[in-house]
A and B are shown apart, each in its own frame.
Chain A
């Protein structure tokens, strides 16, 4: 087991910068989720740890060892591929056993370890089958078993659940978490599914355009997003973001003007010299009332336990309001007023998107 450290790691493909000066430390025994939209460089970062992609710049270390120039087989990492990458001509038994054979593990120990890994994943009945005779979920488990049987220092998983149906995904998700917690193996888990990220990771590293936006625990990430991008990427639906301007009222108290309405300046955010900020609030921090932002409902999504009202503000910006009330009587094209809970407001710099600092 070991930590994984990226120090200014950059990966360039000709003129594409896939990963840009990434600084990130994955602690020993941690499950870190790499989260971000398609093309942000998650897979590339993972493949660099595996040694399948060369590091263009910076240092990559596993434990105390710089691994930039180490061959994949010498890194003692196991990877679960999105495609599972099972060897089609081998039985489940032989697939799981394959890495052990190379390590020269004796036959008796090999089969006991294979059986243990297979039992952990409920595959012990399927050992004689070939991958072609397995369902998608079973193949996925074989791929996991092949990774855990080696007891490697690091697990790397690239969207391992994306080919499973929704039910199976939820179940396998918790299985992976349970196995990871039990083995305590350092794991980097790539996904673009923020629910997976929130439920699985000790910490989540959000990437965007090859760079790290923020790394924090799931709750910190949700409650204190460091950038407007993180705020809008996490949560389903994500945080509402509005352009706003700070002003000072006649009595000297600072305020915020957004979408034609005025709000008191929220506590805990320093003032912006330019006055321009991005105002963020989660759908659950908004409610309909007799005062607030003028809006018109353009879509009502009833999800059962809750209802999402998608509203259009006077200036055309969209805002989502989450209602716990399943009997919501609101209809499309109703005119409503949206009240924002000022305790749950986030402010970001309008230009850089960075969260405004503490202060007054």
Chain B
């Protein structure tokens, strides 16, 4: 065959692949813009005067950024206290969820005990019950325990999750049985195996679980609203933002500044953990 005949289809295929790549990037960029635009507007508006925000059309770039909205949000909204409360609640929940999920997942993956299947299905079934259904019962439980308006009341109802147990079980099931038996012969009992072998090998899944549980507890609204009193001693930042909004109705820029502040810990977390997060989500999907 003459070389020109060979060359043409190859070149077409190559340019075809190129144009598909370009299309993919265009779509991804578009998606990113759509997702990020509201965030951008929030940041811009937090730096504008309230009068400018009301202006039509609203400016899309703060020519004279008003940084003082951040300091006002911080002091008037007592954001320092709220952030601390959120951090404590989140730390308790993340620690608790990771600990209980790792232990329960390990039991489901490695141990034999009566009613294992039934129990596991029960765990899974809890995933289908929305939190709102149990909220009144939980509230009366923690109140009768004297935990209303306390960190215990904020955290204890969330210390165990069916999702986490499931995630950790799947991760542990990836560990070959031989490894457990080798460790057994090397003298390592169950907990030593869990600590020295299973947990290190399941690290991506554990990181993913920690990030998920961080996100969901940091963003909680309904429960902290119901389970805390007005004295702000344990109120979390999401409730604090709502109060800030109520007290600064005419100062929308201050409320938005508060929102931006409250989101910063999440962004930092995601940047740090993004690799593990993606790996943890896809781990086990391909085998």
Contacts and interface: CB of A to CB of B under 8 A. Distances in A.
A113 B197 CA distance: 22
Interface stretch (A83-91, A182-190, A263-271, A286-294): A83-91
Given A88-B201, A89-B200, A73 B188 contact: yes
Nearest to B203: A89
A52 B181 contact: yes
16 contacts: A50-B181, A50-B185, A51-B184, A52-B185, A72-B181, A72-B184, A73-B186, A79-B181, A79-B185, A81-B178, A85-B182, A87-B179, A87-B197, A89-B200, A98-B183, A98-B196
Nearest to B182: A85
Interface in A48-95: 50-52, 72-73, 77-79, 81, 83, 85, 87-89
A102 interface: yes
A81 B186 contact: no
A329 interface: no
B187 interface: yes
Contacts of B187: 73, 99, 102-103
Given A81-B182, A85-B182, A87-B179, 9 more contacts: A51-B184, A52-B184, A73-B187, A73-B189, A83-B178, A85-B179, A85-B181, A89-B200, A102-B188
A146 B176 CA distance: 18
A85 B184 contact: no
Interface of B: 176, 178-179, 181-189, 192, 196-197, 200-201
A54 B101 CA distance: 30
A139 to B, nearest CB: 13
B186 A102 contact: yes
Contacts of B185: 50-52, 72-73, 77-79, 99
B201 A98 contact: no
A88 B200 CA distance: 10
Nearest to A147: B185
Nearest to B188: A102
A79 B200 contact: no
List the 3 closest pairs (A to B, CB-CB), nearest first. A102-B187, A85-B178, A85-B182
Nearest to B180: A85
Contacts of A77: 185
B230 to A, nearest CB: 50
Nearest to A84: B178
A65 to B, nearest CB: 17
Contacts of B186: 73, 98-99, 102, 146, 150
A299 to B, nearest CB: 40
Interface residues of A, number: 20
A79 B201 contact: no
A79 B180 CA distance: 12
A288 to B, nearest CB: 50
Interface string A253-267: 000000000000000
**Secondary structure dominating the interface of B:** helix
Nearest to A75: B185
B179 A102 contact: no
Nearest to A98: B186
A321 B63 CA distance: 98
A103 B192 CA distance: 13
A13 B279 CA distance: 39
Contacts of A103: 187
User: In the complex, which of the residues B176, B184, B185, B200 has the most CB atoms of chain A within 10 Å of its own CB atom?
Assistant: B185
A100 to B, nearest CB: 9
A147 B117 CA distance: 36
Nearest to A83: B178
Contacts of B181: 50, 52, 72, 79, 81, 85
Contacts of B176: 83, 85
Contacts of A78: 185
A95 to B, nearest CB: 10
Interface in A289-340: none
Contacts of A52: 181, 184-185
B39 to A, nearest CB: 38
Nearest to A50: B185
Given A73-B185, A79-B182, A79-B185, A102 B192 contact: yes
Contacts of A51: 184-185
Nearest to B197: A87
Contacts of B182: 79, 81, 85, 87
A88 B176 CA distance: 11
Contacts of A150: 186
Nearest to A73: B187
A4 B188 CA distance: 23
A353 B50 CA distance: 101
A276 to B, nearest CB: 47
Contacts of A85: 176, 178-179, 181-182
Contacts of A81: 178, 181-182
B169 to A, nearest CB: 20
B185 to A, nearest CB: 5
B204 to A, nearest CB: 12
Contacts of A50: 181, 185
Contacts of B188: 73, 98, 102
A279 B183 CA distance: 50
Contacts of A73: 184-189
B184 to A, nearest CB: 5
B20 to A, nearest CB: 34
A68 to B, nearest CB: 17
B173 to A, nearest CB: 16
A98 B183 CA distance: 9
Contacts of B196: 98
A87 B185 CA distance: 13
Nearest to B200: A89
